[in-house]
Structure 1
Protein backbone atom coordinates (compact mmCIF):
# COMPACT_ATOMS: atom_id res chain seq x y z
CA UNK A 1 0.00 0.00 0.00
CA UNK A 2 1.38 3.42 -0.99
CA UNK A 3 1.00 5.95 1.83
CA UNK A 4 0.10 9.52 0.87
CA UNK A 5 0.39 12.84 2.73
CA UNK A 6 -1.62 15.77 1.32
CA UNK A 7 -0.05 19.22 1.78
CA UNK A 8 -2.67 21.82 0.85
CA UNK A 9 -3.87 24.94 2.68
CA UNK A 10 -7.26 25.09 0.91
CA UNK A 11 -9.61 22.71 2.79
CA UNK A 12 -11.86 22.16 -0.25
CA UNK A 13 -8.95 21.26 -2.51
CA UNK A 14 -7.45 19.04 0.19
CA UNK A 15 -10.76 17.18 0.53
CA UNK A 16 -11.06 16.79 -3.25
CA UNK A 17 -7.54 15.37 -3.44
CA UNK A 18 -8.38 13.01 -0.59
CA UNK A 19 -11.47 11.71 -2.39
CA UNK A 20 -9.50 11.25 -5.62
CA UNK A 21 -6.77 9.26 -3.88
CA UNK A 22 -9.26 7.08 -2.01
CA UNK A 23 -10.93 6.19 -5.32
CA UNK A 24 -7.73 4.50 -6.53
CA UNK A 25 -6.62 1.02 -5.43
CA UNK A 26 -3.25 0.69 -3.77
CA UNK A 27 -3.15 4.09 -2.06
CA UNK A 28 -3.83 5.14 1.54
CA UNK A 29 -4.12 8.67 2.92
CA UNK A 30 -2.24 8.76 6.22
CA UNK A 31 -2.59 12.48 7.00
CA UNK A 32 -2.92 16.02 5.67
CA UNK A 33 -1.13 19.28 6.46
CA UNK A 34 -2.21 22.86 5.80
CA UNK A 35 1.14 24.48 6.61
CA UNK A 36 4.68 23.68 5.37
CA UNK A 37 6.06 23.45 8.90
CA UNK A 38 3.36 20.95 9.82
CA UNK A 39 4.13 19.00 6.67
CA UNK A 40 7.83 18.78 7.57
CA UNK A 41 6.99 17.32 10.97
CA UNK A 42 4.60 14.79 9.52
CA UNK A 43 7.06 13.69 6.85
CA UNK A 44 9.65 13.06 9.56
CA UNK A 45 7.17 11.23 11.81
CA UNK A 46 5.10 9.27 9.30
CA UNK A 47 7.60 8.86 6.42
CA UNK A 48 4.95 8.73 3.68
CA UNK A 49 5.77 7.26 0.29
CA UNK A 50 4.21 10.16 -1.59
CA UNK A 51 3.53 13.85 -0.97
CA UNK A 52 0.82 15.72 -2.90
CA UNK A 53 2.27 19.21 -2.58
CA UNK A 54 0.85 22.67 -3.21
CA UNK A 55 3.26 25.54 -3.92
CA UNK A 56 1.36 28.63 -2.76
CA UNK A 57 1.00 28.32 1.02
CA UNK A 58 1.46 30.62 4.04
CA UNK A 59 5.04 30.87 5.22
CA UNK A 60 7.51 28.99 3.07
CA UNK A 61 6.42 27.90 -0.39
CA UNK A 62 5.97 24.32 -1.44
CA UNK A 63 9.18 24.58 -3.46
CA UNK A 64 11.09 25.73 -0.38
CA UNK A 65 9.55 22.83 1.53
CA UNK A 66 10.61 20.42 -1.20
CA UNK A 67 14.15 21.82 -1.16
CA UNK A 68 14.32 21.43 2.62
CA UNK A 69 13.11 17.83 2.38
CA UNK A 70 15.89 17.00 -0.04
CA UNK A 71 18.45 18.83 2.08
CA UNK A 72 17.50 16.70 5.09
CA UNK A 73 17.77 13.52 3.04
CA UNK A 74 14.06 12.71 2.79
CA UNK A 75 13.32 10.15 0.06
CA UNK A 76 9.57 10.84 0.02
CA UNK A 77 8.36 11.18 -3.56
CA UNK A 78 6.46 14.32 -4.53
CA UNK A 79 3.75 15.17 -7.01
CA UNK A 80 3.22 18.92 -7.20
CA UNK A 81 -0.38 20.10 -7.54
CA UNK A 82 -0.45 23.88 -7.90
CA UNK A 83 -1.82 26.88 -9.73
CA UNK A 84 1.78 27.94 -10.40
CA UNK A 85 2.18 27.57 -14.15
CA UNK A 86 5.42 29.43 -14.74
CA UNK A 87 8.31 27.49 -16.19
CA UNK A 88 10.66 28.55 -13.39
CA UNK A 89 8.48 26.84 -10.76
CA UNK A 90 8.09 23.74 -12.90
CA UNK A 91 11.82 23.52 -13.57
CA UNK A 92 12.67 23.99 -9.89
CA UNK A 93 10.17 21.33 -8.82
CA UNK A 94 11.65 18.85 -11.29
CA UNK A 95 15.19 19.69 -10.20
CA UNK A 96 14.20 18.89 -6.62
CA UNK A 97 12.89 15.52 -7.71
CA UNK A 98 9.14 15.97 -8.21
CA UNK A 99 7.89 12.97 -10.17
CA UNK A 100 4.97 14.85 -11.73
CA UNK A 101 3.43 18.33 -11.91
CA UNK A 102 -0.31 19.03 -12.13
CA UNK A 103 -1.58 22.54 -12.80
CA UNK A 104 -4.81 23.59 -11.09
CA UNK A 105 -7.54 23.24 -12.07
CA UNK A 106 -6.85 19.64 -13.15
CA UNK A 107 -9.30 16.94 -14.15
CA UNK A 108 -9.81 13.47 -12.70
CA UNK A 109 -8.27 11.72 -15.69
CA UNK A 110 -5.00 13.65 -15.38
CA UNK A 111 -4.85 13.06 -11.63
CA UNK A 112 -5.48 9.35 -12.13
CA UNK A 113 -2.83 9.23 -14.82
CA UNK A 114 -0.25 10.73 -12.46
CA UNK A 115 -1.10 8.41 -9.58
CA UNK A 116 -1.22 5.19 -11.60
CA UNK A 117 2.00 6.07 -13.40
CA UNK A 118 3.64 6.66 -10.04
CA UNK A 119 2.32 3.38 -8.66
CA UNK A 120 3.63 1.45 -11.64
CA UNK A 121 7.01 3.18 -11.47
CA UNK A 122 7.33 2.43 -7.76
CA UNK A 123 6.45 -1.23 -8.28
CA UNK A 124 8.98 -1.37 -11.10
CA UNK A 125 11.77 0.10 -8.96
CA UNK A 126 11.00 -2.21 -6.06
CA UNK A 127 11.33 -5.31 -8.23
CA UNK A 128 14.58 -7.21 -7.94
CA UNK A 129 14.80 -8.81 -11.38
CA UNK A 130 17.06 -7.62 -14.17
CA UNK A 131 15.32 -5.25 -16.58
CA UNK A 132 15.52 -4.65 -20.30
CA UNK A 133 15.67 -1.36 -22.16
CA UNK A 134 12.03 -1.75 -23.17
CA UNK A 135 11.04 -1.99 -19.51
CA UNK A 136 12.84 1.26 -18.73
CA UNK A 137 11.33 2.97 -21.76
CA UNK A 138 7.82 1.98 -20.71
CA UNK A 139 8.45 3.24 -17.18
CA UNK A 140 9.89 6.60 -18.23
CA UNK A 141 7.38 7.27 -20.99
CA UNK A 142 4.26 5.76 -19.48
CA UNK A 143 2.38 9.08 -19.61
CA UNK A 144 1.92 8.39 -23.31
CA UNK A 145 -0.01 5.25 -22.49
CA UNK A 146 -1.60 6.09 -19.13
CA UNK A 147 -5.11 4.80 -18.81
CA UNK A 148 -8.48 5.81 -17.49
CA UNK A 149 -11.85 4.06 -17.27
CA UNK A 150 -12.94 5.71 -20.53
CA UNK A 151 -9.97 4.35 -22.47
CA UNK A 152 -11.56 1.09 -23.63
CA UNK A 153 -11.31 0.95 -27.42
CA UNK A 154 -14.48 1.34 -29.43
CA UNK A 155 -16.49 -1.86 -29.49
CA UNK A 156 -15.21 -3.16 -26.15
CA UNK A 157 -17.41 -3.07 -23.06
CA UNK A 158 -16.67 -3.32 -19.35
CA UNK A 159 -19.26 -6.06 -18.93
CA UNK A 160 -17.62 -8.37 -21.46
CA UNK A 161 -14.17 -7.45 -20.17
CA UNK A 162 -15.23 -8.57 -16.69
CA UNK A 163 -16.35 -11.95 -18.06
CA UNK A 164 -13.06 -12.42 -19.88
CA UNK A 165 -11.04 -11.24 -16.89
CA UNK A 166 -12.79 -13.74 -14.62
CA UNK A 167 -11.88 -16.50 -17.06
CA UNK A 168 -8.27 -15.29 -17.20
CA UNK A 169 -7.99 -15.36 -13.42
CA UNK A 170 -9.11 -18.99 -13.40
CA UNK A 171 -6.02 -19.82 -15.45
CA UNK A 172 -3.80 -18.67 -12.59
CA UNK A 173 -0.14 -18.47 -13.59
CA UNK A 174 -0.53 -20.82 -16.55
CA UNK A 175 -0.43 -19.48 -20.09
CA UNK A 176 -3.58 -19.64 -22.20
CA UNK A 177 -4.95 -19.06 -25.68
CA UNK A 178 -7.94 -17.14 -26.97
CA UNK A 179 -9.67 -20.49 -27.50
CA UNK A 180 -9.16 -21.39 -23.82
CA UNK A 181 -10.74 -18.13 -22.66
CA UNK A 182 -13.57 -18.37 -25.19
CA UNK A 183 -14.44 -21.83 -23.90
CA UNK A 184 -14.47 -20.86 -20.21
CA UNK A 185 -16.10 -17.43 -20.61
CA UNK A 186 -18.71 -18.25 -23.26
CA UNK A 187 -17.58 -15.25 -25.33
CA UNK A 188 -16.86 -15.81 -29.02
CA UNK A 189 -13.25 -16.41 -30.04
CA UNK A 190 -13.29 -13.37 -32.34
CA UNK A 191 -14.34 -11.10 -29.47
CA UNK A 192 -11.94 -12.72 -27.00
CA UNK A 193 -9.02 -12.05 -29.33
CA UNK A 194 -9.89 -8.33 -29.39
CA UNK A 195 -9.96 -8.15 -25.61
CA UNK A 196 -6.75 -10.12 -25.18
CA UNK A 197 -5.03 -7.91 -27.73
CA UNK A 198 -6.16 -4.84 -25.80
CA UNK A 199 -4.95 -6.27 -22.47
CA UNK A 200 -1.62 -7.07 -24.10
CA UNK A 201 -1.29 -3.49 -25.40
CA UNK A 202 -2.04 -2.22 -21.86
CA UNK A 203 0.75 -4.50 -20.54
CA UNK A 204 -1.71 -6.36 -18.31
CA UNK A 205 -0.95 -9.52 -20.28
CA UNK A 206 2.17 -10.63 -22.09
CA UNK A 207 1.86 -12.48 -25.37
CA UNK A 208 4.14 -15.05 -26.99
CA UNK A 209 3.89 -17.22 -30.07
CA UNK A 210 3.94 -20.99 -29.64
CA UNK A 211 5.14 -23.06 -32.60
CA UNK A 212 3.62 -26.49 -32.33
CA UNK A 213 4.62 -29.49 -34.40
CA UNK A 214 1.31 -29.43 -36.25
CA UNK A 215 -0.82 -26.54 -37.48
CA UNK A 216 -0.35 -22.77 -37.41
CA UNK A 217 1.59 -20.88 -34.71
CA UNK A 218 -0.62 -20.01 -31.74
CA UNK A 219 -0.54 -16.83 -29.66
CA UNK A 220 -0.56 -17.60 -25.97
CA UNK A 221 -0.96 -15.17 -23.12
CA UNK A 222 0.12 -14.92 -19.51
CA UNK A 223 -0.68 -12.47 -16.71
CA UNK A 224 1.90 -9.74 -16.28
CA UNK A 225 2.63 -10.07 -12.57
CA UNK A 226 3.76 -6.46 -12.18
CA UNK A 227 0.93 -4.72 -14.04
CA UNK A 228 -2.14 -6.93 -13.74
CA UNK A 229 -3.68 -4.64 -11.09
CA UNK A 230 -4.12 -2.05 -13.86
CA UNK A 231 -7.26 -3.99 -14.80
CA UNK A 232 -9.04 -2.04 -12.06
CA UNK A 233 -8.78 1.04 -14.29
CA UNK A 234 -11.11 -0.57 -16.80
CA UNK A 235 -13.67 -2.63 -14.87
Structure 2
Protein backbone atom coordinates (compact mmCIF):
# COMPACT_ATOMS: atom_id res chain seq x y z
CA UNK A 1 0.00 0.00 0.00
CA UNK A 2 1.47 3.34 -1.08
CA UNK A 3 1.94 5.73 1.86
CA UNK A 4 -0.22 8.84 1.66
CA UNK A 5 1.20 12.33 1.98
CA UNK A 6 0.05 14.34 4.99
CA UNK A 7 -0.80 17.96 4.19
CA UNK A 8 0.43 20.45 6.80
CA UNK A 9 -0.52 24.08 7.44
CA UNK A 10 1.75 26.40 9.45
CA UNK A 11 0.08 29.19 11.43
CA UNK A 12 2.89 31.42 12.72
CA UNK A 13 3.42 35.18 12.42
CA UNK A 14 7.17 35.09 13.10
CA UNK A 15 8.72 34.62 9.66
CA UNK A 16 11.97 33.04 10.83
CA UNK A 17 10.19 30.47 12.96
CA UNK A 18 7.68 29.70 10.21
CA UNK A 19 10.59 29.02 7.85
CA UNK A 20 12.22 26.77 10.46
CA UNK A 21 9.02 24.72 10.64
CA UNK A 22 8.74 24.67 6.84
CA UNK A 23 12.29 23.29 6.56
CA UNK A 24 11.45 20.42 8.90
CA UNK A 25 8.30 19.57 6.96
CA UNK A 26 10.17 19.75 3.67
CA UNK A 27 12.74 17.22 4.89
CA UNK A 28 10.14 14.60 5.84
CA UNK A 29 9.13 12.23 3.03
CA UNK A 30 5.54 11.90 4.30
CA UNK A 31 4.77 15.55 5.01
CA UNK A 32 3.72 18.19 2.47
CA UNK A 33 3.48 21.91 3.26
CA UNK A 34 0.28 23.38 1.79
CA UNK A 35 0.43 26.88 3.23
CA UNK A 36 1.71 29.38 5.80
CA UNK A 37 -0.68 31.74 7.58
CA UNK A 38 0.39 34.66 9.74
CA UNK A 39 -3.06 35.34 11.24
CA UNK A 40 -6.24 33.56 12.28
CA UNK A 41 -8.07 35.03 9.29
CA UNK A 42 -5.49 33.67 6.85
CA UNK A 43 -5.53 30.33 8.68
CA UNK A 44 -9.30 29.97 8.25
CA UNK A 45 -9.07 30.75 4.52
CA UNK A 46 -6.31 28.16 4.03
CA UNK A 47 -8.14 25.61 6.17
CA UNK A 48 -11.10 25.83 3.82
CA UNK A 49 -9.11 25.74 0.57
CA UNK A 50 -6.28 23.33 1.47
CA UNK A 51 -7.99 21.05 4.05
CA UNK A 52 -4.77 20.07 5.86
CA UNK A 53 -4.58 17.05 8.15
CA UNK A 54 -2.12 18.73 10.53
CA UNK A 55 -1.73 22.33 11.72
CA UNK A 56 1.35 23.70 13.49
CA UNK A 57 -0.38 26.42 15.47
CA UNK A 58 1.05 29.46 17.25
CA UNK A 59 -1.05 31.03 20.00
CA UNK A 60 -0.25 34.76 19.90
CA UNK A 61 -1.37 36.04 16.50
CA UNK A 62 -2.13 39.60 15.32
CA UNK A 63 -5.90 39.07 15.25
CA UNK A 64 -6.43 36.76 18.22
CA UNK A 65 -5.27 33.61 19.96
CA UNK A 66 -4.56 30.40 18.11
CA UNK A 67 -6.17 28.35 20.87
CA UNK A 68 -9.57 29.44 19.54
CA UNK A 69 -8.87 27.68 16.24
CA UNK A 70 -8.59 24.28 17.92
CA UNK A 71 -12.30 24.24 18.74
CA UNK A 72 -13.30 25.83 15.42
CA UNK A 73 -15.65 23.69 13.28
CA UNK A 74 -13.11 24.06 10.45
CA UNK A 75 -10.72 21.91 12.49
CA UNK A 76 -13.25 19.66 14.20
CA UNK A 77 -15.13 18.69 11.03
CA UNK A 78 -12.03 18.27 8.86
CA UNK A 79 -10.45 15.45 10.86
CA UNK A 80 -7.49 17.78 11.36
CA UNK A 81 -4.94 17.47 14.17
CA UNK A 82 -3.03 20.29 15.87
CA UNK A 83 0.48 20.58 17.24
CA UNK A 84 0.27 23.67 19.45
CA UNK A 85 3.49 25.74 19.50
CA UNK A 86 3.45 28.68 21.86
CA UNK A 87 5.14 30.86 24.46
CA UNK A 88 2.02 30.44 26.61
CA UNK A 89 3.21 28.55 29.68
CA UNK A 90 0.06 29.12 31.77
CA UNK A 91 -1.85 26.01 32.81
CA UNK A 92 -5.20 27.36 31.55
CA UNK A 93 -3.98 27.52 27.94
CA UNK A 94 -2.24 24.15 28.23
CA UNK A 95 -5.34 22.50 29.74
CA UNK A 96 -7.59 24.00 27.07
CA UNK A 97 -5.34 22.68 24.32
CA UNK A 98 -5.36 19.20 25.86
CA UNK A 99 -9.14 19.21 26.40
CA UNK A 100 -9.66 20.16 22.76
CA UNK A 101 -7.51 17.28 21.54
CA UNK A 102 -4.19 18.91 20.58
CA UNK A 103 -1.79 16.16 19.52
CA UNK A 104 1.12 17.93 21.20
CA UNK A 105 1.97 21.13 23.09
CA UNK A 106 5.44 22.59 22.51
CA UNK A 107 6.77 25.64 24.34
CA UNK A 108 8.89 28.33 22.69
CA UNK A 109 11.75 28.74 22.09
CA UNK A 110 11.19 25.68 19.94
CA UNK A 111 13.73 22.88 19.90
CA UNK A 112 14.38 21.51 16.39
CA UNK A 113 14.78 18.02 17.88
CA UNK A 114 11.58 18.26 19.95
CA UNK A 115 9.47 19.33 16.99
CA UNK A 116 11.08 16.73 14.71
CA UNK A 117 10.14 13.97 17.15
CA UNK A 118 6.59 15.28 17.44
CA UNK A 119 6.17 15.31 13.65
CA UNK A 120 7.55 11.77 13.39
CA UNK A 121 5.15 10.53 16.07
CA UNK A 122 2.24 12.15 14.26
CA UNK A 123 3.18 10.44 11.00
CA UNK A 124 3.20 7.09 12.82
CA UNK A 125 -0.11 7.97 14.47
CA UNK A 126 -1.72 8.85 11.13
CA UNK A 127 -0.38 5.71 9.46
CA UNK A 128 -1.73 3.42 12.13
CA UNK A 129 -5.14 5.07 11.89
CA UNK A 130 -5.10 4.53 8.12
CA UNK A 131 -4.06 0.88 8.26
CA UNK A 132 -6.10 -0.33 11.22
CA UNK A 133 -9.79 -0.55 10.26
CA UNK A 134 -10.76 -2.45 13.42
CA UNK A 135 -8.82 -2.14 16.66
CA UNK A 136 -8.21 -4.27 19.70
CA UNK A 137 -7.02 -3.00 23.09
CA UNK A 138 -3.37 -3.31 22.09
CA UNK A 139 -3.97 -1.12 19.03
CA UNK A 140 -5.78 1.50 21.12
CA UNK A 141 -2.97 1.51 23.69
CA UNK A 142 -0.42 1.99 20.92
CA UNK A 143 -2.27 5.06 19.57
CA UNK A 144 -2.45 6.66 23.00
CA UNK A 145 1.20 5.91 23.65
CA UNK A 146 2.20 7.78 20.49
CA UNK A 147 0.63 10.92 21.93
CA UNK A 148 2.14 10.43 25.39
CA UNK A 149 5.39 8.80 24.33
CA UNK A 150 8.56 9.62 26.23
CA UNK A 151 11.14 11.32 24.05
CA UNK A 152 14.19 9.36 23.05
CA UNK A 153 17.26 10.39 24.97
CA UNK A 154 19.65 10.28 22.03
CA UNK A 155 22.24 12.76 20.90
CA UNK A 156 20.15 14.01 17.98
CA UNK A 157 23.08 13.46 15.63
CA UNK A 158 21.16 12.01 12.67
CA UNK A 159 22.12 13.95 9.54
CA UNK A 160 24.88 15.85 11.36
CA UNK A 161 28.30 15.65 9.72
CA UNK A 162 31.32 16.03 12.00
CA UNK A 163 33.36 18.48 9.88
CA UNK A 164 30.40 20.76 9.26
CA UNK A 165 29.50 20.73 12.94
CA UNK A 166 33.10 21.64 13.83
CA UNK A 167 32.97 24.53 11.34
CA UNK A 168 29.86 25.98 12.97
CA UNK A 169 31.07 25.42 16.52
CA UNK A 170 34.47 26.97 15.83
CA UNK A 171 32.79 30.15 14.63
CA UNK A 172 30.98 30.53 17.97
CA UNK A 173 33.98 29.45 20.04
CA UNK A 174 36.07 32.22 18.49
CA UNK A 175 33.43 34.87 19.31
CA UNK A 176 31.97 33.51 22.53
CA UNK A 177 30.28 36.77 23.61
CA UNK A 178 28.65 37.55 20.28
CA UNK A 179 25.13 36.70 19.07
CA UNK A 180 24.76 35.51 15.48
CA UNK A 181 21.69 35.38 13.27
CA UNK A 182 21.11 32.55 10.80
CA UNK A 183 22.03 34.84 7.91
CA UNK A 184 25.31 35.81 9.58
CA UNK A 185 26.25 32.16 10.06
CA UNK A 186 25.36 31.46 6.42
CA UNK A 187 27.65 34.33 5.34
CA UNK A 188 30.54 33.15 7.53
CA UNK A 189 30.36 29.42 6.75
CA UNK A 190 29.04 29.30 3.17
CA UNK A 191 26.41 26.73 4.16
CA UNK A 192 22.85 26.84 2.87
CA UNK A 193 20.23 28.43 5.10
CA UNK A 194 18.42 25.11 5.63
CA UNK A 195 21.65 23.33 6.61
CA UNK A 196 22.66 26.21 8.86
CA UNK A 197 19.35 26.11 10.76
CA UNK A 198 19.67 22.36 11.25
CA UNK A 199 23.18 22.63 12.72
CA UNK A 200 22.31 25.61 14.90
CA UNK A 201 19.31 23.84 16.38
CA UNK A 202 21.39 20.71 16.91
CA UNK A 203 23.87 22.85 18.87
CA UNK A 204 21.00 24.27 20.93
CA UNK A 205 19.73 20.77 21.73
CA UNK A 206 23.25 19.70 22.68
CA UNK A 207 23.65 22.67 25.06
CA UNK A 208 26.47 24.26 23.05
CA UNK A 209 24.36 27.27 21.95
CA UNK A 210 21.51 29.22 23.50
CA UNK A 211 18.71 31.07 21.69
CA UNK A 212 18.00 34.73 22.31
CA UNK A 213 15.20 36.76 20.73
CA UNK A 214 16.30 40.16 19.42
CA UNK A 215 13.49 42.70 19.23
CA UNK A 216 13.86 45.61 16.82
CA UNK A 217 11.69 48.66 16.34
CA UNK A 218 10.06 47.27 13.19
CA UNK A 219 9.08 43.74 12.22
CA UNK A 220 9.27 40.42 14.01
CA UNK A 221 11.93 39.46 16.55
CA UNK A 222 15.00 37.70 15.22
CA UNK A 223 16.18 34.36 16.53
CA UNK A 224 19.82 34.82 17.61
CA UNK A 225 22.37 32.25 18.73
CA UNK A 226 25.10 32.64 21.35
CA UNK A 227 27.74 30.29 22.76
CA UNK A 228 26.72 28.94 26.16
CA UNK A 229 29.24 30.01 28.79
CA UNK A 230 31.45 27.17 29.94
CA UNK A 231 31.21 26.40 33.64
**TM-score interval for Structure 1 and Structure 2 normalised by the shorter chain:** 0.5 to 0.7
Asked whether the equivalents of residues 113 and 148 of structure 1 are also in contact (C-alpha less than 8 Å), the reply is no
Distance 1:124 1:73 in 2: 20
Structure 2: which 5+ residue stretches go unaligned? 158-231
Partner of 2:140: 136
CA displacement, residues 11-47 of structure 1 (integer Å, 9 cap, x when unaligned): 0110111111212221010110001001001101110
Aligned-pair CA distance for 1:52:
0.4
Which runs of 5 or more residues in structure 1 are unaligned?
A: 153-235
TM-score, with structure 1 as normaliser = 0.59
Tell me the equivalent position of 1:207.
none
Work out whether 1:82 is the aligned partner of 2:92. no
Hey, what does 2:62 align to over in structure 1? Answer: 58
Distance 1:72 1:114, change over 3 A: closer
CA contact (8 A) 2:44 2:74 kept: no
Q: Deviations over 1:142-171 (max 9, x none)?
A: 34355587479xxxxxxxxxxxxxxxxxxx
Residue matched to 1:30: 34
CA contact (8 A) 1:8 1:53 kept: yes
Aligned to 1:113: 117
CA distance in 1, matches of 2:34, 2:153: 25
Determine helix, strand or coil for the equivalent of 1:3: strand
Question: Is the contact made by 1:55 and 1:61 (CA closer than 8 Å) also made in structure 2?
Answer: yes
Q: Look up the SS of the partner of 1:98 in the other structure.
A: coil
Q: d(CA) in 2 for partners of 1:8 and 1:89?
A: 17
Q: Per the alignment, do residues 125 and 59 of structure 1 end up closer, same or farther by CA in structure 2, a change over 3 Å counting? A: same
| Relative contact order higher in (CA < 8 Å, ≥ 6 apart) | 2
Alpha-carbon offset, residue 137 of structure 1: 1.8
Question: How far, CA to CA, are the matches of 1:113 and 1:106 in structure 2?
Answer: 12
**Secondary structure of 1:13 counterpart:** helix
**What is residue 164 of structure 2 aligned with on the other side?**
none
**How large is the RMSD of aligned CA atoms in angstroms?**
2.3
Q: Is 1:70–1:96's contact at 8 Å kept on the other side of the alignment? A: no
Bigger shift: 47-56 or 74-83?
A: 74-83
Following superposition, the deviation at residue 114 of structure 1 comes to: 0.8
Partner SS for 2:61: coil
> When the two structures are aligned, how many residues end up with a matched partner?
152
The 5 Å alignment of 1:166-205 reads none
Bigger radius of gyration = 1
